């Protein structure tokens, strides 16, 4: 097992451990991005509130922070603590988010954009926090200001060393201090812009955590702010050195290193770290299947695939082939990860077709609908006895490994609902198990939601009413939950055996099966050729 | 205890503990940036080397070749000369360096910012600077005996308007 697979199983195990405590949909590890946004807004709102009471002059800054922390602890003091603790928690959430996306391999290939645009966010979060600590103008602020400016002065871009502003009590002017206040407003605004850019290449980006998780997080932050209020560390005095300071190890954890290592090493290290992070998606790049391809003869521009694509890779454009429809769809190959969700959303994706080639409106060149039908027929042939379960599994979940009677897909939403109907009505199996990624942790973001809505007959293409819902099992399990998937599938098989065979079968005749297989091979070759 | 109430309570407790840990690490453990019984001496100033040493008068031919409104008698290099700075503590030279002018054209001031940790107690400080390349020795020099307290920040600045080096 590769290192990444081991890490992935370990992280999945940790995440699944939190499921019973929070519920899968409130699991904080599956909501790190939305939590980051939520914490940003808490920090922004409390920052605006604190600014009402904060004095931006260097002489009165410390006094104003003390006043709001002590005399008005019940509102402004709580806001200050919230401001600090939410910022620290944002660092934790951000670093976990970064590590998690790396371990789950969601940063390479066509998904490079979100990763690369996330790198500046790391630095802007740190810069926002560091400039915030300056404003309290206590001893920690003095230490941070002097260390930061000495580090900046190592860059040959300032005519006058900035650190000279912090040499003596007389050298720091209120005007310069006001500039620091401006920086603490401007940098978070740039951070917000960077966060907005970060989510531009995904559709329906989650920027709000579930309400319950938001309530838990905010409630805990308020409670801790009341129990352990943030405090200052004595007024700054430029005539002395703040020899001992209580560090914020989340935002200022690198400062001891800056104290001990020459500035050139720090800047070189920061630059290398940034370049390595930015370069990771190409070290090495992920080998991805060719992008989805549109077949206009079978596309009426209904836009279901546009709505379902998790990566905004499909757009609706003016019709180009003279067919009597207003629109057709176009795939941006630079964004398409070949998850197949578009194929599952296309009303033309019906495996029941018996005349001619099985072609759909939007297909995957390397894993066509025709090939999928053939795989299903082949997998069904491996099933014996009563209570036969054919599993449609996600390659990133508990059912990712090949097994008899199992078809592994890049995403379970690649399977159109008509495929489940086909499996049951042709008697290929007594029931279908849909084994997707862990709840709230869909590798392709929206696959689980779309699958659930389609089989609940809430989202087009709907599962036909004739399909008995008890013959469909959905299991949302991560890679560490193989045993749970097997147990649930076994229980499902027993239930199916008790139900007996599906009554309205019209079995696949041998000629149809052979024809499907032949068509599959020919069509697959044709599509691969077309993609070239 | 079922459903969401269970998640609110258990999830809330886990989150509370996590945020309490975060709050604790937001101000602890402490970091000592300066050893005990030590003071910080900083030698810091910006000063442009004197360009006049490299100036010369134009010849009559050179002046005649210029338009009338540009016939300045003296011509000076745009680039400033480097300055040379030396600091002695208790008779030992602890810093001696030539500092080039700043700016792409070398027309800006030279910058000096040096940190030095000293044991608390009495010290004899001597600082010297040469800002003209043709000077033998130094153009500025100052000596001071100081009594440094632990964690004191002592600064040596340079202000020509105040006669040279200034001790804070």
Nearest to A454 by CA among A421, A413, A426: A413
pLDDT at A110: 93
- Of A258, A280, A302, which one is at a domain's C-terminal end? A280
A255 and A299 housed in the same domain: no
Q: Span B96-122, mean pLDDT?
A: 93
pLDDT at A532: 46
A499: confidence class by pLDDT, cuts 50, 70, 90: very high
Tell me the pairing of strands A431-436 and A406-409.
unpaired
pLDDT at A20: 94
CA angle A414, A420, A426 (to 5 degrees): 135
Question: Which residue from A minimizes the CA distance to B45?
Answer: A164
CA dist A380 and A413 (Å) reads: 19
A357 and A439 housed in the same domain: yes
pLDDT at A519: 53
Nearest to B110 by CA among B160, B44, B43, B48: B48
| pLDDT, averaged across chain B | 93
A263 and A395 housed in the same domain: no
Per-residue pLDDT tens digits for A10-27: 999 999 999 999 999 999
**Residue of higher predicted confidence among A466 and A516:** A466
Question: Which residue from A minimizes the CA distance to B102?
Answer: A159
Q: Is the pLDDT of residue A531 over 50?
A: no
Which long-range contacts does A446-449 make (Cβ < 8 Å, 24+ apart)?
A446/A203, A446/A204, A446/A308, A446/A310, A446/A341, A446/A413, A447/A310, A447/A339, A447/A341, A447/A394, A447/A411, A447/A412, A447/A413, A447/A414, A448/A412, A448/A413, A448/A476
Residue carrying structure tokens 């990444």: A4
Q: Is the pLDDT of residue A327 over 80?
A: yes
CA angle A222, A225, A228 (to 5 degrees): 145
Q: Is the pLDDT of residue B95 over 80?
A: yes
Q: Are B96 and B85 in contact (CB under 8 A)?
A: yes
Q: Are A523 and A359 in contact (CB under 8 A)?
A: yes
A191: confidence class by pLDDT, cuts 50, 70, 90: very high
A396 and A257 housed in the same domain: no
Q: Are B18 and A240 in contact (CB under 8 A)?
A: no
Q: Is the pLDDT of residue A105 over 50?
A: yes
Q: CA of A35 to nearest chain B CA: how many angstroms apart?
A: 12
Tell me the pairing of strands A431-436 and B30-32.
unpaired
Q: Indicate the residue of A81, A160, A228 with minimum beta-carbon distance to B46.
A: A160
pLDDT at A175: 85
Q: Is the pLDDT of residue B158 over 50?
A: yes
A273 and A421 housed in the same domain: no
The DSSP element (H or E) to which B92 belongs, if any, is strand B92-99
Per-residue pLDDT tens digits for A274-294: 999 999 999 998 888 999 999
CA dist A224 and B16 (Å) reads: 7
Tell me which range, A68-77, A501-510, B97-106, is most confidently predicted by mean pLDDT: A68-77
A390 and A455 housed in the same domain: yes
* Alpha-helical regions (H) of A361-432: 369-380, 417-425
Q: Are A109 and A285 in contact (CB under 8 A)?
A: yes
Q: Cβ neighbours of residue A238 under 8 Å, at least 6 residues apart? A: A142, A166, A167, A168, A169, A171, A172, B153
Q: Is residue A10 part of a domain?
A: no
Q: CA of B110 to nearest chain A CA: how many angstroms apart?
A: 9
Please, what sign has the CA dihedral across residues A222, A226, A227, A232? positive
Q: Span A139-153, mean pLDDT?
A: 95
Beta bridge partners of B125: B89, B144
CA dist A493 and A510 (Å) reads: 26
Per-residue pLDDT tens digits for A154-179: 988 887 889 999 988 888 888 888 88
Q: Is the pLDDT of residue A522 over 70?
A: no
Q: Is the pLDDT of residue A413 over 90?
A: yes
CA dist A132 and A84 (Å) reads: 9
Tell me which chain B residues have a C-beta less than 8 angstroms from the C-beta of A159.
46, 102-103, 108-109, 111
Q: CA of B7 to nearest chain A CA: how many angstroms apart?
A: 5
* Alpha-helical regions (H) of A361-481: 369-380, 417-425, 447-455
Lowest mean pLDDT among A215-229, B6-20, B72-86: B72-86
> Where do the domains of chain B lie?
38-50+81-167
Q: Span A227-253, mean pLDDT?
A: 96
CA dist B109 and B101 (Å) reads: 5
Q: Span A370-392, mean pLDDT?
A: 94
Q: Is residue A11 part of a domain?
A: no
Q: Is residue A287 part of a domain?
A: no
Q: Is residue A315 part of a domain?
A: yes
Tell me which chain B residues have a C-beta less than 8 angstroms from the C-beta of A130.
none
Task: Give the pTM.
Answer: 0.90
Rg (chain B; Cα; Å):
28
Please, what sign has the CA dihedral across residues B59, B62, B68, B73? negative
Q: Which fold has domain B38-50+81-167?
A: Immunoglobulin-like (2.60.40)
pLDDT at A528: 47
- Of A227, A246, A280, which one is at a domain's C-terminal end? A280
- Of A240, A255, A280, which one is at a domain's C-terminal end? A280
How many helices (H) and strands (E) chain A has is answered by: 17, 9
A186 and A208 housed in the same domain: yes
A308 and A194 housed in the same domain: no
Interface pTM (ipTM) of the complex? 0.89
Structure token digits, residue A191: 């951070």
Q: Are B40 and A150 in contact (CB under 8 A)?
A: no
The answer to whether A248 contacts B25, with C-beta atoms less than 8 Å apart, is yes
| Cα-based distances in Å from B87 to B82, B84, B156 | 17, 10, 10
A182 and A329 housed in the same domain: no
Tell me which chain A residues have a C-beta less than 8 angstroms from the C-beta of B107.
none
Tell me which chain B residues have a C-beta less than 8 angstroms from the C-beta of A85.
19, 22-23, 26
Q: Are A76 and A68 in contact (CB under 8 A)?
A: yes
pLDDT at A530: 47
A303 and A416 housed in the same domain: yes
Q: Indicate the residue of A26, A156, A256 with minimum beta-carbon distance to B11.
A: A26
Backbone angles phi, psi at A80, to 5 degrees: -65, -45
CA dist A370 and A517 (Å) reads: 8
CA dist A74 and A69 (Å) reads: 8
A164 and A308 housed in the same domain: no
**Residue of higher predicted confidence among A358 and B9:** B9
A250 and A304 housed in the same domain: no
Q: Quote the number of domains for chain A.
A: 2
Residue A309: CA atoms inside 13 Å, Cβ hemisphere, count? 27
pLDDT at A521: 57
| pLDDT, averaged across chain A | 92
Q: Are A310 and A444 in contact (CB under 8 A)?
A: yes
Which long-range contacts does A329-336 make (Cβ < 8 Å, 24+ apart)?
A329/A294, A329/A299, A329/A301, A329/A303, A329/A305, A329/A361, A329/A362, A330/A294, A331/A291, A331/A292, A331/A293, A331/A294, A331/A362, A332/A291, A333/A290, A333/A291, A334/A110, A335/A110, A335/A201, A335/A311, A336/A110, A336/A291, A336/A292, A336/A311
Q: Is the pLDDT of residue A525 over 70?
A: no
Per-residue pLDDT tens digits for A446-471: 999 999 999 999 999 999 999 999 99
Q: Is residue A486 part of a domain?
A: yes
Domain that includes residue A91, residue range: 18-280
Q: Are B67 and B109 in contact (CB under 8 A)?
A: no
Best residue in A14, A226, A240, A257 for a mutation probing chain B (most B CBs within 10 Å): A240
A382: confidence class by pLDDT, cuts 50, 70, 90: very high
Rg (chain A; Cα; Å):
29
**Residue of higher predicted confidence among A161 and A263:** A263
Per-residue pLDDT tens digits for B135-144: 888 999 999 9
Extended beta strands in A53-111, E state: none
CA dist A202 and A195 (Å) reads: 13
Q: Is the pLDDT of residue A250 over 50?
A: yes
């Amino acid at each position: 097992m590769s290192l990444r697979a081991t890490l992935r199983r370990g992280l999945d195990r940790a995440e699944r451990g939190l499921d019973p405590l929070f519920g899968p949909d409130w699991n904080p590890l599956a909501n790190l991005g939305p939590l980051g946004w939520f914490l940003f807004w808490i920090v922004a709102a409390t920052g605006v509130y604190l600014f009402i009471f904060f004095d931006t002059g260097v002489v009165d800054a410390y006094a104003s922070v003390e006043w709001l922390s002590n005399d008005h602890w019940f509102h402004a003091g709580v806001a200050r603590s919230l401001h600090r603790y939410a910022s620290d928690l944002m660092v934790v959430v951000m670093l976990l988010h970064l590590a998690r996306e790396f371990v789950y391999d969601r940063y390479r290939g066509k998904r490079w954009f979100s990763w690369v645009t996330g790198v500046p966010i790391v630095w802007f979060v740190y810069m926002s926090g560091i400039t915030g600590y300056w404003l309290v103008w206590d001893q920690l602020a003095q230490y941070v200001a002097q260390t930061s400016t000495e580090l900046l002065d190592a860059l040959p871009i300032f005519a006058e060393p900035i650190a000279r502003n912090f040499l003596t009590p007389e050298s720091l002017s209120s005007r310069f201090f006001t500039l620091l206040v401006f920086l603490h407003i401007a940098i978070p605004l740039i951070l917000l812009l960077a966060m907005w850019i970060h989510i531009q290449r995904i559709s329906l980006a989650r920027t709000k955590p579930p309400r319950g998780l938001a309530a838990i997080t905010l409630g805990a932050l308020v409670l801790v702010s009341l129990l352990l209020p943030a405090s200052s560390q004595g007024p700054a005095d430029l005539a002395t050195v703040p020899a001992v300071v209580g560090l914020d190890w989340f935002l200022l954890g690198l400062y001891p290193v800056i104290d001990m290592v020459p500035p050139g090493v720090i800047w070189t290290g920061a630059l290398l770290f940034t370049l390595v992070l930015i370069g990771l998606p190409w070290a090495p790049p992920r080998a991805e299947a060719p992008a989805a391809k549109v077949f206009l003869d079978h596309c009426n521009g209904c836009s279901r695939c546009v709505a379902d694509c998790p990566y905004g890779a499909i757009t609706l454009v003016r019709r180009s082939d003279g067919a009597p429809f207003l629109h057709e769809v176009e795939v941006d190959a630079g964004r398409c990860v070949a998850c197949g969700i578009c194929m599952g959303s296309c009303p033309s994706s019906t495996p029941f077709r018996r005349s001619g080639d099985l072609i759909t409106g939007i297909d995957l060149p390397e894993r066509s609908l025709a090939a999928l039908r053939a795989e299903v027929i082949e997998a069904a042939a491996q099933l014996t006895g009563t209570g036969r379960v054919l599993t449609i599994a996600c390659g990133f979940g508990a059912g990712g490994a090949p097994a008899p009677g199992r078809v592994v897909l890049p995403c379970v939403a690649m399977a159109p609902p008509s495929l489940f109907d086909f499996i049951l009505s042709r008697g290929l199996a007594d029931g279908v198990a849909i084994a997707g990624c862990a709840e709230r942790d869909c590798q392709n973001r929206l696959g689980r939601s779309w699958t659930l809505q389609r089989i609940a007959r809430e989202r087009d293409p709907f599962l036909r009413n004739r399909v008995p819902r008890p013959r469909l099992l959905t299991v949302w399990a991560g890679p560490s939950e193989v045993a749970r998937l097997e147990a649930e599938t076994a229980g499902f098989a027993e239930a199916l055996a008790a139900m007996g065979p599906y009554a309205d079968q019209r079995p696949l005749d041998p000629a149809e099966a052979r024809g499907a297989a032949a068509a599959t091979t020919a069509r697959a070759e044709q599509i691969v050729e077309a993609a070239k | 205890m079922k459903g969401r109430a269970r998640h609110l309570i258990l999830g809330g407790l886990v989150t509370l503990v996590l945020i309490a840990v975060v709050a604790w690490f937001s101000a602890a453990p402490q970091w000592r940036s300066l050893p005990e019984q030590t003071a910080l001496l900083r030698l810091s100033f910006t000063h442009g080397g004197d360009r006049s040493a490299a100036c010369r008068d134009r010849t009559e031919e050179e002046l005649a070749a210029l338009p009338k409104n540009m016939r300045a008698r003296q011509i000076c290099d745009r680039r400033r000369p480097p300055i040379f700075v030396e600091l002695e503590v208790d008779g030992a030279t602890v810093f001696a360096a030539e500092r080039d002018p700043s700016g792409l054209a070398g027309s800006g001031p030279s910058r000096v910012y040096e940190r030095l940790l000293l044991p608390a107690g009495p010290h004899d400080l001597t600082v010297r600077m040469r800002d003209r390349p043709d000077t033998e020795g130094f153009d500025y020099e100052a000596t001071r005996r100081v009594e440094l307290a632990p964690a004191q920040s002592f600064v040596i600045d340079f202000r020509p308007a105040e006669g040279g080096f200034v001790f804070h």
